[in-house]
Structure 1
Amino acid sequence: MPIGSLVVEPIDLTPVERRVWRAFPTGLPIDLRDGDDDPEHGGGWGAGRTVRASVLRKLLLRPAVDGEVAALRVNGARISGRLDLRYAAVGHPVRLSGCHFDEPPELYGAHLRQLNLSGSFLPSLVAETLRMDGVLRLTDCRVPGQIRLGGARLAGAFFLERARLGEDGAPKEVLHLNHSTVEDDVWAPGLEARGQIRLNGASVTGMLNLRGAVLLTPGGRAFDGENLSVGSDVVATGARIEGEVSVRGATIPGLLVLTSARLSDASCALRATSAVIGEVWLREARVDGPVNLLRGRFGLLHAAPGAFGGTVWLDGLTYGLLTPRLPAKARIAMLERDEEGYVPHAYEQLAAAYRQAGDDRAARNVLLAKQRRHRSTRPRYARMWGYLQDVTVGYGFRPMWAAAWLAGLLAVGTAVFGLHAPAPLKAGEQPPFNALFYTLDLLLPIIDFGQEKAFKPAGWHQWFAYGLVIAGWVLATTIAAGITRTLSRQ
């Protein structure tokens, strides 16, 4: 019972509980380790290391002694019973490191100053709507069940480095942070999770660090960050993730770093639909499974074509820069794996990226590939006209091809008619015959040198002349179509 600033010590305390009770008012640390210090097997620790959760609850809810800073600092204890702090307001720092909890702590709706459970074993943790004025630290913790922090508000950082969550056959969800707010970093390098991590609608003011993490949810969603908002970066360098990674609708103004990461899932390995991300880095990464980037908006996308091992969804995806700098042919191959088939926007976006990089030739190659892909979707009669445009002028992107065709036909025509000049239509009225200009008259519909009207070929030369006329009209039409397409695009 409180008497002024003092609290009467309970008479039923065990010797170790009495040590903890008396150390609390001044924050003196109590270390109960004796060599057998694996908290995962702490259920066998004896009475000399066992503290009842009810005793800790009484300590944490008592007032501080005047002139002292109270704190609970215990290392290597077995916490028997359930630590029930639901809706409690605890103004003292709490550090229960390397401890074994027989039952899951209950922190639902609690308001704590700071909580450090580093290296401890917890069956699970119930802490929805928790309010934390400082840091929440679960470094090196072993939690086979769920950590439930939905709606929590943490004024400090959340540490999960090297923690091991879940187990084979555990519930699908091992970390629930939906709609929570962390006003600092979520620091979890080396995290191992055998189950789903969920941050739907969560807000992280700093960065989310999953460097070297191992997230294993085969056939399910390993990381669910839909509508996640991060203040700076999401870093998962070297991570290994089995199961879908979803950042659909996420806002990441800095970097999404998956450098050297390995992602795999048969249904969808990476989903970033409608996500707004400053830079996406997939350098030396490998994504085995479909990749869905529909309507994503990236400032920079660093991804070699070999990073994606499955089909892709790219419609509506926009990006400013595309690295590394590769020939258009290497990039076009990825567009042809789009699950939706022919996606015009994907080709236009890739061409725009090449133009922004100053590589107009690569941009033209992409747009030519677009026309060829479009041709494959059209009826047979339309494909024939497309083949003709492709062979002659490359759909307008290869204007020099038309010049080559004209030069070749002109040379052949000049040689043929030079050896066998056609007879004049009106003897004595014709100009001198010139095989070169006669062939030009046949090939160029809008030019008249007077040769075609003055001479009339016969036999197979007549059919040859007809062929030159038709070839000239076809070339003129395809050139006009190509020029029109190019000008309309610009």
Structure 2
Amino acid sequence: MLSYDELTSPERDLWDAFPEGRRVDLRTGVPEEDDVAEGGQWGPGRTVRATVIVALLLGANTEQSGAVACLRLAGARISGRLHLPGAQIAYALWLEECWFEESVDLLGASTQTLVIAGSQVPGIEADSARIEGTFDLRRSVVKSLASSPFNHVSTALSLSDARVSGGVLLNEAEISAPGGWAVAAGGLIMEGNMFCKGGFVARGEVRLLGAQLPGGLFMQGARLLSPGPQGVALALDNAVASTLDFSDGFIANGTVRLRGAQISDSLTFEGAVLNGPPDGRGPSLVALLLQAVDFDFTLARPPCGTVDLRGAQVSYLHDSARSWPKVVELDGFVYGSIKMDEAGERRESVGRRSSVAHRVAWIRRSPGYNPQPYEQLASWYRKAGHDDDARRVLLAKQRHRRQTLPPAARGWGHLLDVTVGSGYRPWLAGVWLLALALLGTLSFGTASPNPVQRGEGAPFQPFVYTLDLLTPIGGLGQRTAWYWSDDSLQWLAYLLIAFGWMLTTAIIAGVTRTLQKN
């Protein structure tokens, strides 16, 4: 047990101020002398032992009537380890611009508002902690612990399975665990917001798997400079949040992983830069089975790695010419509306042929052939009332599919495409029939055929005769009544009969394929 007589002068000041909640400020007011990075050089006049802080937080000094006890300390060098695992702390802790000799241990602790602002700390471990208030690390520098006893990976800030009733404030903080986990907060449950804005820097993976963030995660302008051991900069797999904001110059040098994340409002990457892993081999964004209402993917420049949206579902998609890399995984991606950012304005990209070409090219960035992205895009055009655009998309689908077929099937597909647009341009058949009818009429009108039986049948009519040749079923009485002694015209007649069968078969196959939505 600590004795008052054993305390140093600054420790006595803190001891006396604690019951009244008064702040003890050991700063000199000289910027060079108060530089926290040089806190290891501060002498006894600015040094407070961690054991003194622990004793006060555990109730060593009796509270005074009519005052709220609170430990408030600024500009101190804290020697020893702030060791409070499993502690029940009834008082708020405010430490400003302090330099910590050793890490902070709050494993399984229950505490009130915890503020370590503008300070330098060699690691904070708060797994399974319960914080009834705000957890504030603004402007602090937190460096990695040697390793966590649970994951054997170097970690700077550990909040796994912690519960915070207020907000987590990491604005302007620098959290460093190069090659490890800068923030390990899997299973974190919050009631407030999590802010990592205003120059927040992480070196190492920011890990929030399964976190519950009803107030949202805000990382505007944050910089995730070094990925974790798997090349991941930010992991939010299966997280539940109202908002995820990665805008205003957000930078991720590593994969941003949102597999199975559920966002009840908006997910935005407006103005963000997704560089992907430094080796260039991994994806920039993995969002398999993501669910979000509003998905803003208007990046500052195209991602360096792939974007994986397989199985994702969003109500509104916003993108731009800078949104997509060379490879985009879109199989199973479902959206209700798309708006394109053009010259600062967002418009639904419908009603223009260039829009369809742009969207089809977007789908073609997906490796291999998958019909679902085409069907989804065509469905969106139909809902917007642009059936012609929907048919263009489905025609593009058939052309893409044709490339995966054997040679014979590809040849038949080319025939369907040329004759009836694979069923999506049936008017092409009319164009072919008109052209062939004109060819036959002009050619057969230059000579006279021989009757099969003299004096019987209708007079020869070049146009009707041509139509009869092009009609494979039934007849108009001309084809069987006349023949040609001129071999070239007779062969033309045979060709027109063949073209008639081919056109009829193509029309039937194309219409059947369209009705079946193959």
Q: State the TM-score bracket (shorter-chain normalisation).
A: over 0.9
Q: CA deviation at 1:30?
A: 1.7
- 1:364 and 2:391 correspond: yes
Q: CA deviation at 1:113?
A: 1.0
- 1:252 and 2:263 correspond: yes
CA RMSD of aligned residues (A): 1.6
Change (3 A) 1:332 1:46: same
Q: CA deviation at 1:179?
A: 0.8
More moved, 357-366 vs 456-465 = 357-366
- 1:45 and 2:46 correspond: no
Match of 1:241 among 233, 249, 252: 252
* Mapping for residues 314-393 of structure 1, pairs under 5 Å: 314-324=330-340, 325-326=348-349, 327-339=355-367, 341-393=368-420
Structure 1 unaligned blocks of 5 or more: 2-7
1:400-420 per-position Cα deviation (integer Å, ceiling 9, x unaligned): 211111111111111111112
Instruction: Answer whether contact 2:298 2:322 (CA < 8 A) is retained.
Output: no
Q: CA deviation at 1:103?
A: 0.5
- Secondary structure class of the residue paired with 1:90: coil
In structure 2, C-alpha distance between the alignment counterparts of 1:311 and 1:284, rounded to whole Å: 16
Q: CA deviation at 1:356?
A: 2.1
Q: CA deviation at 1:451?
A: 1.5
Corresponding residue number in structure 1 for 2:454: 427
* Mapping for residues 13-28 of structure 1, pairs under 5 Å: 13-28=7-22
In structure 1, C-alpha distance between the alignment counterparts of 2:414 and 2:312, rounded to whole Å: 34
* Mapping for residues 379-418 of structure 1, pairs under 5 Å: 379-418=406-445
In structure 2, C-alpha distance between the alignment counterparts of 1:74 and 1:12, rounded to whole Å: 19
Instruction: Answer whether contact 1:305 1:330 (CA < 8 A) is retained.
Output: no
Instruction: Answer whether contact 1:288 1:308 (CA < 8 A) is retained.
Output: no
In structure 1, C-alpha distance between the alignment counterparts of 2:304 and 2:206, rounded to whole Å: 20
Match of 2:491 among 460, 463, 473: 463
Instruction: Answer whether contact 1:287 1:309 (CA < 8 A) is retained.
Output: yes
Corresponding residue number in structure 1 for 2:192: 184
In structure 2, C-alpha distance between the alignment counterparts of 1:402 and 1:209, rounded to whole Å: 57
* Mapping for residues 37-436 of structure 1, pairs under 5 Å: 37-62=34-59, 63-145=62-144, 146-166=156-176, 170-189=178-197, 190-218=199-227, 220-230=231-241, 232-237=242-247, 238-265=249-276, 266-285=281-300, 286-304=302-320, 306-324=322-340, 325-326=348-349, 327-339=355-367, 341-436=368-463
Instruction: Answer whether contact 2:457 2:477 (CA < 8 A) is retained.
Output: no
Q: Which amino acid aligns with 2:157?
A: I
1:376-406 per-position Cα deviation (integer Å, ceiling 9, x unaligned): 1111111110010111111011112111111
Q: CA deviation at 1:447?
A: 4.9
Q: CA deviation at 1:9?
A: 6.4
Corresponding residue number in structure 2 for 1:453: 480
Match of 2:27 among 16, 28, 33: 33
In structure 1, C-alpha distance between the alignment counterparts of 2:49 and 2:226, rounded to whole Å: 36
1:245-282 per-position Cα deviation (integer Å, ceiling 9, x unaligned): 10101111111100111112231110011121112111
In structure 1, C-alpha distance between the alignment counterparts of 2:179 and 2:506, rounded to whole Å: 63
In structure 1, C-alpha distance between the alignment counterparts of 2:34 and 2:446, rounded to whole Å: 104
Q: CA deviation at 1:358?
A: 2.2
1:154-188 per-position Cα deviation (integer Å, ceiling 9, x unaligned): 00011111111116xx3421101001101111111
In structure 2, C-alpha distance between the alignment counterparts of 1:368 and 1:306, rounded to whole Å: 26
Q: CA deviation at 1:90?
A: 1.2
Corresponding residue number in structure 2 for 1:5: none
More moved, 455-464 vs 213-222 = 213-222
Instruction: Report sequence identity in percent.
Output: 40
Structure 2 unaligned blocks of 5 or more: 145-155, 341-347, 350-354
In structure 2, C-alpha distance between the alignment counterparts of 1:451 and 1:45, rounded to whole Å: 112
- Secondary structure class of the residue paired with 1:386: helix
Instruction: Answer whether contact 1:75 1:97 (CA < 8 A) is retained.
Output: yes
In structure 2, C-alpha distance between the alignment counterparts of 1:193 and 1:84, rounded to whole Å: 25
Q: Which amino acid aligns with 1:455?
A: W
- Secondary structure class of the residue paired with 1:321: strand
In structure 2, C-alpha distance between the alignment counterparts of 1:284 and 1:92, rounded to whole Å: 44
- Secondary structure class of the residue paired with 1:195: strand
Instruction: Answer whether contact 1:53 1:81 (CA < 8 A) is retained.
Output: yes
In structure 1, C-alpha distance between the alignment counterparts of 2:216 and 2:293, rounded to whole Å: 13
- Secondary structure class of the residue paired with 2:254: strand
1:170-214 per-position Cα deviation (integer Å, ceiling 9, x unaligned): 342110100110111111113110100101111111110011110
In structure 1, C-alpha distance between the alignment counterparts of 2:422 and 2:384, rounded to whole Å: 23
Q: CA deviation at 1:233?
A: 0.7
In structure 1, C-alpha distance between the alignment counterparts of 2:477 and 2:322, rounded to whole Å: 60
- Secondary structure class of the residue paired with 1:288: coil
Change (3 A) 1:322 1:202: same
Instruction: Answer whether contact 1:91 1:112 (CA < 8 A) is retained.
Output: yes
Q: For this pair of structures, how many residues does the alignment match? A: 480
In structure 1, C-alpha distance between the alignment counterparts of 2:299 and 2:160, rounded to whole Å: 34
1:287-333 per-position Cα deviation (integer Å, ceiling 9, x unaligned): 21111111111112222354222312222221111222441111212
What is the TM-score with the length of structure 1 in the denominator? 0.95
Q: CA deviation at 1:349?
A: 1.3
In structure 1, C-alpha distance between the alignment counterparts of 2:326 and 2:40, rounded to whole Å: 47
More moved, 469-478 vs 56-65 = 56-65
Q: Which amino acid aligns with 1:183?
A: E
Q: CA deviation at 1:124?
A: 0.5
1:71-93 per-position Cα deviation (integer Å, ceiling 9, x unaligned): 11111111111111111111111
In structure 2, C-alpha distance between the alignment counterparts of 1:38 and 1:393, rounded to whole Å: 77
In structure 2, C-alpha distance between the alignment counterparts of 1:80 and 1:422, rounded to whole Å: 114
What is the TM-score with the length of structure 2 in the denominator? 0.90
- Secondary structure class of the residue paired with 1:86: coil
Instruction: Answer whether contact 1:172 1:217 (CA < 8 A) is retained.
Output: no
